[in-house]
A and B are shown apart, each in its own frame.
Chain A
Amino acid sequence: MRPTAGLSACAQLDGHVKTAATPLGSANPATGSGRTWRLHPVLSAWVAAVTGVAVSMAISVPLDLYQQLGFGLISVIAALLIRRSRWGKLAVIALIVLSLTGSLRYMYWRLGSTLAFDSLLEGVLGWILVGAEMYALTILMLGYLQTAWPLRRSPQPLPADQQQWPSVDIFIPSYNEPLSVVRMTVLAAQAIDWPADKLRIYLLDDGRRDDFKAFCVEAGAGYLTRADNTHAKAGNLNAALGRTDGEFVAVFDCDHIPTRSFLQVTMGSFLQDPKLAMLQTPHHFFSPDPFEKNFKTFHKVPNEADLFYGLVQDGNDLWNAAFFCGSCAVLRRAPLLEVGGVAVETVTEDAHTSLKMSRKGYNLAYLAIPQAAGLATESLSAHIGQRIRWARGMAQIFRIDNPLLGPGLSLGQRLCYVNAMLHFFYGLPRLVFLTSPLAYLFFSAQVFQASGTMVLAYALPHILLSIITNSRIQGKFRHSFWNEVYETVLAWYITWPVLLALISPKLGIFKVTAKGGIVRKSYYDWRMGLPYLVLLGLNLLGLGAGAIRLASGSAPGATVAINLVWCLYNIIIISASILVAREARQLRSTPRVAAVLPATVMWPNGRTTVCETLDFSSSGVGLKVSDQTKFNIGAEIQIAISRGDIETVLTGVVAQLGENLGIDFKHLSIAQQRELALITFSRADNWTGTWGKTKLDAPFSALRDLLVFGLMNLFSLTVRSALVWPRKLGRQTGSVRIKTP
């Protein structure tokens, strides 16, 4: 079926590209209209100089309280107007300029006028806070640089002559994942539309498991192992590089199931740009990550990865600094070998490899079209373990191959790479922000040597402008304040490994992220949640201390009020973070993907019942039947499911009764599994419909959501014990809608 599918996949692709490009492209009439006016170089140098002077004036001219309040008010109003405007990218840049002016103005004032500390305690605490603020400002500025102009690359057409299509090896590394997870990935990879003689699939099994080998032999995929497990995944890939010879290498984590159009969408760019060494596509998850699972926000609020793959990587692409993320990417073999294969010096081999290729002058690209989907990490502990590894790895690169130093990079590349690393240093600053108001509420330590009103006049525009700006830039990919929750959850755990890696890159251990598992009952992960319970307790005490201070009238009201509001905000964020550690029940080891397809149940006696499918996983299907009396638990039935011109007949056992019938597949042959893959996971437009389609950000409602989540959680934790949490949480079902033909 593979050779014939080429044209139909291309046809699907065309439709898909249009749908994907329309919402992205329509937002920027300024670029769409193709005006080509340009500034004369001398003139632009002058304009730049005048701009520089004017901006430095706007930032540095000191104003008194009311003038500064006026400045803040005007700029916030301007920002709100611009946010609603239809100027496209011009609006984004105007917002960034406003936000940076407000923030730099704040920092100029902060450094110049608020640091005359009276005592050692205040001095130490105060400087720690300033350090954290400067870090946050740096990240804000670099973040703007990265996200100001997402490149929005589109797929390049392949030549009509298939002889010119290059050969591709697909690597699927695995170490300890169950075969049930890996099986679908291998089969879907085999289903990729590409000339058969130019496509080879390799399962790289570092677990050296016999059942894997048997499966590969049966499925007709390559199976590669090696004697040891040095350098983990990087070593595994490098070993495979030595034993294969395709011009290109595509890498999929064993739980990332590619669509059939993956290579046709990606490979055109390589033919168009011979210097292109790597093209990355998004990591899309059809199962909820711990946040989505435990907050129950799956497909309502953009998840943590959405920002990175939806915006940051696309923005990096402008600066030629989109980097390899270990999976769902194609690499050109020659440059990869030129930098010595996949980097083994650090535990984030993917980013480091990209950095090395960038230094050699190769181009990197990012194509924001999801062409594979996989499982998100399921438990909070696993999520934290994964992030610790990323953070450690980035810190290692920062230490041993700092992108600010060394040859070969453009300034934009350096800054983008360095932000990718600095971003992971947020642990300590975040903890500082979560505890700073306590210094005043508990000890009356004036870590901010300025009057409360003055602080408001300078800090409010800085904060509001950045919220407004980020809401406009990231609205589709991250809702306001969620970033705080994502970071807060990790802050405690990430701090030490990052510091350790900065001190000595070799310190620390590497853990494989476990994927696919069952959470039989909801429980509170006390081990993970404990630091946040402590932080919450401290902030609640601080709230009490502040209330007493306010009531006694012994302290300046404005200062106490600011610290109280800050404290309250921290409480909201921390309570929301605590909620994540309450692991919700998850009954399936393979999460389901919703898909409504026509199906027919065939009884052993030859009769048939027409029904519809509800959802799929690789091991079962949910059916909607009108008459369920015919079904018994344990009864073996055959189901015919069709989609377009493909139809497959599968054998299953009734596992669950009810309005939604649960069927577990039994004895599926490789061919059946392949067909299952084709009608479910492999479709080219599977993921583009849902990806980045959560509701747009509205800062107030985002805050309200968090408030509700946080307070609800606080209530439930205090009133009921987390251990007797009622098992009323429904089954976890992905709500990806698969279009029926």
Chain B
Amino acid sequence: MKAHKSVKLKIRPPLRDGCCKPHRGKLTTLLGSALLCWTTAFAVQPATPAEVAAAAASSNQRFTLRQLGALKPFALRGLDGRDGVPFNVRADSVITKASLKLSYSYSPDLLADLSKINVLINGEVAASLPLPKQIGSGPVEQTVSLPPQMITEFNNLTLQLIGHYSMQCEDPAHTSLWATVSNKSVLELTTEPIAVANDLALLPEPFFDRRDPRPLTLPFVFANNPDDATLEAAGSLSSWFGALASYRGAQFPASINAVPASGHAIVLIGNPSAIPGLEIPPLTGPTLAIIANPRDPNGKLLLVMGRDGQELKSAAAALAVAGKSLSGQRLVLAQSAQPAARRPYDAPRWLRSDRAVKLGELGTAQTLNVSGYNPGAIAIKLRVPPDLFGWNDKGIPLDLKYRYTPQPSLVNSSLTIGLNDQFVKSLPLLPIERLGSGTLLAKLQSDETLPMQAKAHLPLAMLRPESQLQLRYMYDYIKQGECRDVIIDNVRGAIEPDSTLDISGYSHFLAMPDLAAFGGSGFPFTRLADLSQTAVVLPDAPNAQEVSAYLAVLGRLGESTGYPGTRITVTRTAKVAGAADKDLLLIASGDRQPLLKSWASAMPAGLDAGARSGLSELLDHAISWGAAYLPDRLKPTSAAQGFNRAGMNAYFAGFESPLKSGRSVVVVWGAEGEGLQAGVDALLGSEDKNQGIAGRLAIVRGKQLDSLVEQPAYHIGDLDWFTRMRWTLSQNLSLYALASALAAGLATLLVFVTLRSLSRKRLPA
């Protein structure tokens, strides 16, 4: 296994992986001090004998290039065009066979004897495909087998076009030099499992392996009737795994009293409950252990145990917060305090709102530097709280410091700032001759790049829950004439790490209910990353589907924040009043949740069709007059009409808590059976999280999702009274006119009375 650790440098890291690395780093530093205390308190159990190696059972994995991160087909241009994707191999398996089923097409004008498409693995040529003159059109399909010995843990699969169209002088930018490789080309890997030690030090592997690009499915096993504390412990673990799984998505099928027949699973045991088939030695405190799955020698079970719910919770929290610094096969943890409570909006994956953020914190030096005439965009992932109040605002100020290689003469080079593929601003990259005097040239640094500064604003309307700031250098070059084009690829561009992005000036204020904020960012629950203001309301006796949905939703919240929900509260229908001062997440299926009936009056209108009175419709009409001034995503849609429950698998509903004003309720409801699963799939599944769940009601019918968007019913956030008042008045013109008239009248009267009394004092009686 250690042999696989010969990690190669990734040439082009997948865009998605780029974001979770720094966050993870931050997480550990944040908790570093807490860890130190704990490790001293851990009583390490004597290691149990290593598990017997599992019998070999090979399995096939197929990945399209798209699954590996190529969102678009490879377009290879020029004399030496390259593109590639990373692919990795799970630590608990080894490649025995690998093949690449390529689907590609290429320019008919290429010289057959000189032109090739090379398949490179980690920079080494694994195969070279000739490009004969094509008879017909259409893509060529070819399967290339890749030598498994070239494949390591972390790999890069690169396709290279060696293209020539002429024996004489060639223009490297000639349009006939092209080949495209479909991103539906398939990489097929045959793997065999390898034995993994039962060692907590490996965590989160093998339960989660970041090398695996597929969605994470990790069963959670409970003993009979898990109590609230057990579910809370499970929630903090599932949100931890959700955070780890990141873009892959994570689901946690719950099973009661039964370990899964194959694969890995998490088992939560609170004394005195026991799970059939598992021998649990007596506990002395919160305990973590890894054992082999008794029903699958290649599977592992992570036992999270405690003598009561509290111990179980503290074991889960220790795992979630310090999961990567444990070791041994079994570990009894001293009871310890929870990590400090989080403050609002401090989720590790969210852009900090307490100060300006340096781009260096969001991307590595490697990602902030590019070379070449047309390098890809420097992509910086941004997660911005969904409740930034950007009324009458230019956008998030971006103070960009950048350097580039100035070209000798006037060309159309530029640095383009984009946000989510939308254009924001273009900065010209002036050539040396336009930079003029020696003073600027004097700033030229030894790496021949030039420090520049520019300001831009990222409009809030362009933001999504997961946004991408795209900074793209595009260099122009001047053709010197045939055979004189010796392009030296010496142009560089760099974004200075101390460029800043600043959302600290924004107030937090959001019109609710806004299920788009829930779907995209888990808002309002994720406002506190440890979910300390969240209470999950389950039916009094939740079934497996409901628990699975609960764990999946928590995983989704953890994915958004990057922090385990260690302070989540789980409560039941009967005890909901005790959680009045929290935002409520109701998870229910069928008719198992009576609150849905008793709160029907607070629920969105669509669910009890016909209950609306003529008066409220009239009111709606009056309000919709002002809808022209609403942001697009809050405008009423046609879904507001003609809603029916037929064929509904699941719905999401948002409304103000009937228990306390200013608190929010989000209901995740599924029809009996697979309904909740459909809901969870809708929550996790959509590729583009900006679309989909929105408004106050989102209905899932099979694969279809309809959202009902209406006028906001309430607002949450902390706007200063002045802005709040201005905002309210600007939304309501007649109120504004009234206020202005009142202002003028009162001011006149006040001034008149004041001046009159003053004049009486001044004049002799």
Asked whether A57 lies within 8 Å of B726 as measured between CB atoms, the reply is: yes
A57-B746 CB under 8 A given contacts A151-B759, A317-B762: no
Asked whether A148 lies within 8 Å of B755 as measured between CB atoms, the reply is: yes
CB distance from A534 to the nearest CB of B (A): 33
Spot the interface stretch: B126-134, B473-481, B737-745.
B737-745
Residues of A within 8 A of B (CB): 30-31, 38-39, 44, 47-48, 50-51, 53-58, 60-64, 67, 71, 74, 89-90, 93-94, 96-98, 101, 112, 116, 148-149, 151, 153, 156, 269, 272-273, 317-320, 412
A54-B739 CB under 8 A given contacts A38-B757, A63-B730, A153-B763: yes
- Residues of chain A contacted by B753 (CB below 8 angstroms): 38-39, 44
CB distance from B311 to the nearest CB of A (A): 55
- Residues of chain B contacted by A71 (CB below 8 angstroms): 740
Cβ of B38 within 8 Å of any chain A Cβ, yes or no, is no
CB distance from B660 to the nearest CB of A (A): 28
CB distance from B452 to the nearest CB of A (A): 16
Tell me the bound Cα distance from A53 to B22 in angstroms. Answer: 47
Asked whether B751 lies within 8 Å of A93 as measured between CB atoms, the reply is: yes
Asked whether A61 lies within 8 Å of B729 as measured between CB atoms, the reply is: yes
Can you list 8 A-B contacts (CB < 8 A)?
A: A48-B750, A50-B746, A57-B736, A61-B726, A89-B756, A101-B740, A149-B759, A272-B764
Cβ of B748 within 8 Å of any chain A Cβ, yes or no, is yes
Tell me the bound Cα distance from A50 to B725 in angstroms. Answer: 13
- Residues of chain A contacted by B757 (CB below 8 angstroms): 38
Asked whether B744 lies within 8 Å of A97 as measured between CB atoms, the reply is: yes
Cβ of B747 within 8 Å of any chain A Cβ, yes or no, is yes
Tell me the bound Cα distance from A58 to B745 in angstroms. Answer: 12
Tell me the bound Cα distance from A39 to B742 in angstroms. Answer: 17
A97-B751 CB under 8 A given contacts A38-B757, A55-B743, A61-B736: yes
Tell me the bound Cα distance from A53 to B757 in angstroms. Answer: 24
Chain A residue, CB-CB nearest to B747: A97
Asked whether B730 lies within 8 Å of A51 as measured between CB atoms, the reply is: no
- The residue that A51 contacts in the complex, of B747, B752, B764, with Cβ under 8 A, is B747
Asked whether B762 lies within 8 Å of A58 as measured between CB atoms, the reply is: no
Asked whether A54 lies within 8 Å of B763 as measured between CB atoms, the reply is: no
- Which size bracket describes the interface of B in this complex? 20 to 34
Contact with A along B716-740 (1 / 0, CB 8 A): 0000001001100110010011011
Cβ of B392 within 8 Å of any chain A Cβ, yes or no, is yes
Tell me the bound Cα distance from A55 to B762 in angstroms. Answer: 29
- The residue that A98 contacts in the complex, of B394, B726, B737, B744, with Cβ under 8 A, is B744
- Residues of chain B contacted by A51 (CB below 8 angstroms): 743, 746-747, 750
Chain B residue, CB-CB nearest to A113: B392
Cβ of B758 within 8 Å of any chain A Cβ, yes or no, is yes
Known A38-B757, A44-B753; 12 more pairs at CB < 8 Å? A39-B753, A48-B750, A51-B750, A54-B747, A58-B740, A61-B736, A90-B748, A90-B752, A101-B740, A269-B764, A273-B764, A412-B758
- Residues of chain B contacted by A31 (CB below 8 angstroms): 756, 759
- Residues of chain A contacted by B758 (CB below 8 angstroms): 149, 318-319, 412
- Residues of chain A contacted by B746 (CB below 8 angstroms): 47, 50-51, 54
The 7 A-B pairs of least Cβ separation, nearest first, read A54-B743, A58-B740, A51-B746, A149-B755, A55-B743, A94-B748, A58-B743
Asked whether A93 lies within 8 Å of B725 as measured between CB atoms, the reply is: no
User: In the complex, which of the residues B392, B742, B750 has the most CB atoms of chain A within 10 Å of its own CB atom?
Assistant: B750
CB distance from A159 to the nearest CB of B (A): 14
- Residues of chain A contacted by B762 (CB below 8 angstroms): 151, 317-318, 320
Asked whether B755 lies within 8 Å of A318 as measured between CB atoms, the reply is: yes
Tell me the bound Cα distance from A272 to B763 in angstroms. Answer: 11
Q: Which of B87-127 contact A (CB under 8 A)?
A: none
- Residues of chain B contacted by A94 (CB below 8 angstroms): 744, 748
- Residues of chain A contacted by B392 (CB below 8 angstroms): 62, 112
Tell me the bound Cα distance from A98 to B722 in angstroms. Answer: 21
User: In the complex, which of the residues B392, B737, B743, B749 has the most CB atoms of chain A within 10 Å of its own CB atom?
Assistant: B743
- Residues of chain B contacted by A318 (CB below 8 angstroms): 755, 758-759, 762
CB distance from A234 to the nearest CB of B (A): 29
Contact with A along B365-395 (1 / 0, CB 8 A): 0000000000000000000000000001010
Asked whether B729 lies within 8 Å of A57 as measured between CB atoms, the reply is: yes
CB distance from A466 to the nearest CB of B (A): 15
A54-B751 CB under 8 A given contacts A63-B730, A67-B733, A156-B764: no
- Residues of chain A contacted by B739 (CB below 8 angstroms): 54, 57-58
Tell me the bound Cα distance from A94 to B736 in angstroms. Answer: 19
Asked whether A53 lies within 8 Å of B755 as measured between CB atoms, the reply is: no
User: In the complex, which of the residues A55, A74, A101 has the most CB atoms of chain B within 10 Å of its own CB atom?
Assistant: A55
CB distance from B510 to the nearest CB of A (A): 20
CB distance from B728 to the nearest CB of A (A): 9
- Residues of chain B contacted by A61 (CB below 8 angstroms): 726, 729-730, 736
Q: Which of B706-722 contact A (CB under 8 A)?
A: 722
Asked whether B748 lies within 8 Å of A97 as measured between CB atoms, the reply is: yes
Asked whether A101 lies within 8 Å of B743 as measured between CB atoms, the reply is: yes
Tell me the bound Cα distance from A58 to B752 in angstroms. Answer: 20
- Residues of chain B contacted by A44 (CB below 8 angstroms): 750, 753
- Residues of chain A contacted by B725 (CB below 8 angstroms): 53, 57
CB distance from B43 to the nearest CB of A (A): 63
- Residues of chain B contacted by A30 (CB below 8 angstroms): 752, 756
CB distance from A271 to the nearest CB of B (A): 11
CB distance from B10 to the nearest CB of A (A): 41
Chain B residue, CB-CB nearest to A35: B756
- Residues of chain A contacted by B743 (CB below 8 angstroms): 51, 54-55, 57-58, 101
Tell me the bound Cα distance from A55 to B751 in angstroms. Answer: 13
Asked whether B763 lies within 8 Å of A151 as measured between CB atoms, the reply is: yes
Tell me the bound Cα distance from A65 to B486 in angstroms. Answer: 56
CB distance from A68 to the nearest CB of B (A): 11
- Residues of chain B contacted by A39 (CB below 8 angstroms): 753
- The residue that A93 contacts in the complex, of B737, B748, B764, with Cβ under 8 A, is B748
Chain B residue, CB-CB nearest to A50: B746
Asked whether A55 lies within 8 Å of B747 as measured between CB atoms, the reply is: yes
Tell me the bound Cα distance from A98 to B743 in angstroms. Answer: 10
- Residues of chain B contacted by A96 (CB below 8 angstroms): 751
CB distance from B427 to the nearest CB of A (A): 13
CB distance from B28 to the nearest CB of A (A): 42
Q: Which of B386-438 contact A (CB under 8 A)?
A: 392, 394
- Residues of chain B contacted by A55 (CB below 8 angstroms): 743, 747
- Residues of chain B contacted by A58 (CB below 8 angstroms): 736, 739-740, 743-744
- Residues of chain A contacted by B733 (CB below 8 angstroms): 67
Chain B residue, CB-CB nearest to A62: B392
Asked whether A56 lies within 8 Å of B722 as measured between CB atoms, the reply is: yes
- Residues of chain A contacted by B755 (CB below 8 angstroms): 89, 93, 148-149, 318
CB distance from A729 to the nearest CB of B (A): 46
Asked whether A62 lies within 8 Å of B730 as measured between CB atoms, the reply is: yes
CB distance from A143 to the nearest CB of B (A): 15
CB distance from A517 to the nearest CB of B (A): 41
Chain B residue, CB-CB nearest to A59: B743
Asked whether B722 lies within 8 Å of A93 as measured between CB atoms, the reply is: no
Tell me the bound Cα distance from A244 to B764 in angstroms. Answer: 31
Asked whether A148 lies within 8 Å of B736 as measured between CB atoms, the reply is: no
CB distance from B740 to the nearest CB of A (A): 4
Chain A residue, CB-CB nearest to B628: A64
CB distance from A147 to the nearest CB of B (A): 11
CB distance from A108 to the nearest CB of B (A): 11
Asked whether B740 lies within 8 Å of A54 as measured between CB atoms, the reply is: yes
- Residues of chain B contacted by A98 (CB below 8 angstroms): 744
CB distance from A320 to the nearest CB of B (A): 7
CB distance from B289 to the nearest CB of A (A): 62
CB distance from A567 to the nearest CB of B (A): 31
- Residues of chain B contacted by A148 (CB below 8 angstroms): 751, 755
Chain A residue, CB-CB nearest to B757: A38
Tell me the bound Cα distance from A487 to B759 in angstroms. Answer: 31
Asked whether B726 lies within 8 Å of A60 as measured between CB atoms, the reply is: yes
CB distance from A413 to the nearest CB of B (A): 12
- Residues of chain B contacted by A53 (CB below 8 angstroms): 725
Tell me the bound Cα distance from A134 to B730 in angstroms. Answer: 26
Tell me the bound Cα distance from A359 to B743 in angstroms. Answer: 35
